[in-house]
């Protein structure tokens, strides 16, 4: 009976306790506590953690202990906390994503999510006091940095897979439209010595990127609603899901103007499969609604969009880690 009760609580807790859980997790991430714990064997006493972070001894002990059932830490001996597979993840691959999503800006951003859901309109920017989500980057440069770092680490999860699945050799020039940190185009150029690349994004984003121009890499700023540079291949990775169909068509039309006869557009985004829902896709679908009026799309949604933009889908290359690729022809 007791076990049953515990199980029921474990199931029920994330539904009503998620806010507290993530708020506590944000303290762990803000103070880089996962990084402090060296190995799964050698831990750190909570009094040491308290000294480094300046968090009260008693309360940091209770916060660390809180996360033990969630396997974020283990407590080897009284008061000594050690790393686990999960905290290793949060000091590596998922560090930047976790920092961004558990950050105070995100709490501010989601404060009015109920309004977005009630109206099916993106009210997120209003919560941040800006007209469009992208304007928040100018207003809060430190949030822009968190965002870029998170997109970079998310991209790292995708890039290896993209390079394995896509042959870029037919193209002389590739423009990554909304390329942000520029990690993808840099990797493509490193792998294909004959290709010239362009990383295209808003000025405020490129100004923050450590990426530098090289003889084969140009950095071009501007808006994809106005004009994009000419290229043989245009990559739109995690771009169209940020926008409703009407804006996607405008973006695609801008790209079409810069295409020549043989140019291709490569869209790298999710494809929702109704009978195989994935947590990650449905999570970002809600973010898209609240922040941008965008959405994650099914294959049918994509095809309808392409039809409206006068584009024909060439092929779906493959399902990859954290994304899907679709090739479109003009």
Ligand X SMILES: C[S@@+](CC[C@H](N)C(=O)[O-])C[C@H]1O[C@@H](n2cnc3c(N)ncnc32)[C@H](O)[C@@H]1O
Among 224, 234, 270, 306, interactor with ligand X by CB under 6 A: 224
Closest residue to ligand X, judged by C-beta, is 178
Stretch that binds ligand X, among 15-23, 41-49, 120-128, 199-207 (CB under 6 A): 199-207
H or E element in which residue 176 lies = strand 173-177
Handedness of CA 278, 280, 282, 288 (dihedral sign): negative
Catalytic residue among 21, 31, 241, 290: 241
In the sheet with 233-237, reading across from the earlier edge strand, the strands are: 217-221, 196-201, 173-177, 233-237, 264-269, 323-329, 312-320
Stretch that binds ligand X, among 77-85, 114-122, 176-184, 302-310 (CB under 6 A): 176-184
CB of 6 to ligand X, least distance (A): 40
Stretch that binds ligand X, among 22-30, 56-64, 117-125, 175-183 (CB under 6 A): 175-183
Q: Which is nearer to ligand X, 67 or 133 (CB)?
A: 133
CB of 172 to ligand X, least distance (A): 21
Stretch that binds ligand X, among 110-118, 164-172, 201-209, 253-261 (CB under 6 A): 201-209
Among 72, 242, 297, 325, interactor with ligand X by CB under 6 A: 242
Among 116, 155, 293, 325, interactor with ligand X by CB under 6 A: 155
DSSP letters, 120-156, are: TS--HHHHTT-SSGGGHHHH-HHHHHHHHHHHHHHHH
178 in contact with ligand X (CB under 6 A): yes
Among 125, 179, 197, 294, interactor with ligand X by CB under 6 A: 179
Rg (alpha carbons) of the chain, rounded to whole number:
22
225 in contact with ligand X (CB under 6 A): yes
Helix (H, G, I), strand (E, B) or coil at 235: strand
Q: Which is nearer to ligand X, 55 or 144 (CB)?
A: 144
285 in contact with ligand X (CB under 6 A): no
Q: Which is nearer to ligand X, 83 or 100 (CB)?
A: 100
205 in contact with ligand X (CB under 6 A): yes
The DSSP call for residue 23 is H
Size of the site for ligand X (CB under 6 A): 16
Let me know: does 256 contact 230? Beta carbons within 8 Å.
no
Max Cα–Cα distance, the chain, nearest Å: 70
325 in contact with ligand X (CB under 6 A): no
Q: Which is nearer to ligand X, 201 or 285 (CB)?
A: 201
238 in contact with ligand X (CB under 6 A): yes
**Cβ atoms within 10 Å, residue 179:** 29
Let me know: does 136 contact 130? Beta carbons within 8 Å.
yes
239 in contact with ligand X (CB under 6 A): yes
181 classed as catalytic: no
Let me know: does 236 contact 324? Beta carbons within 8 Å.
no
Helix-strand-coil percent breakdown of the chain, rounded to 5?
A: 55, 15, 30
Helices (H) and strands (E) in the chain, counts: 16, 10
Stretch that binds ligand X, among 14-22, 39-47, 189-197, 221-229 (CB under 6 A): 221-229
Least Cα distance to 202 among 188, 216, 222, 175 occurs for 222
Residues that bind ligand X (CB under 6 A): 134, 151, 155, 178-180, 201-202, 205, 223-225, 237-239, 242
Q: Catalytic positions, please? A: 241
């Amino acid at each position: 009976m007791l076990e049953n009760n515990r199980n029921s609580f474990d199931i029920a807790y994330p539904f009503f306790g998620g806010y507290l859980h993530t708020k506590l997790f944000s303290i762990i991430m803000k103070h880089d506590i996962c990084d402090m714990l060296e190995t799964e064997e050698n831990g750190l006493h909570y009094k040491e953690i308290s000294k480094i972070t300046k968090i009260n001894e008693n309360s940091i002990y209770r916060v660390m202990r809180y996360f033990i059932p969630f396997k974020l830490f283990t407590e080897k001996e009284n008061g000594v906390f050690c790393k686990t597979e999960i905290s290793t993840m949060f000091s590596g691959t998922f560090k930047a994503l976790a920092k961004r999503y558990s950050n105070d800006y995100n709490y501010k951003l989601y404060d009015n999510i109920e309004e977005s859901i009630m109206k099916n309109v993106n009210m997120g920017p209003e919560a941040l006091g800006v007209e469009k989500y992208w304007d928040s980057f100018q207003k809060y440069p430190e949030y822009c940095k968190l965002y870029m770092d998170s997109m970079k680490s998310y991209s790292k999860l995708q890039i290896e897979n993209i390079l394995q699945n896509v042959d870029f050799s037919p193209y002389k020039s590739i423009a990554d439209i909304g390329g942000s940190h520029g990690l993808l185009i840099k990797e493509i150029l490193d792998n294909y010595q004959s290709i010239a690349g362009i990383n295209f994004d808003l000025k405020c984003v490129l100004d923050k990127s450590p990426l530098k121009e090289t003889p084969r890499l140009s950095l071009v700023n501007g808006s994809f609603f106005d004009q994009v540079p000419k290229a043989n291949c245009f990559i739109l990775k995690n771009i169209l899901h940020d926008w409703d169909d009407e804006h996607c068509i405008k973006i695609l039309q801008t790209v079409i103007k810069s295409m020549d006869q043989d140019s291709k557009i490569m869209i790298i985004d999710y494809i929702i499969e109704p009978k195989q829902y994935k947590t990650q896709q449905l999570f970002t679908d809600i973010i898209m609604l609240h922040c941008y009026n965008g959405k994650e799309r099914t294959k049918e949604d994509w095809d309808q969009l392409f039809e409206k933009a006068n584009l024909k889908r060439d092929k779906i290359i493959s399902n990859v880690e954290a994304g899907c690729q679709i090739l479109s022809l003009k």
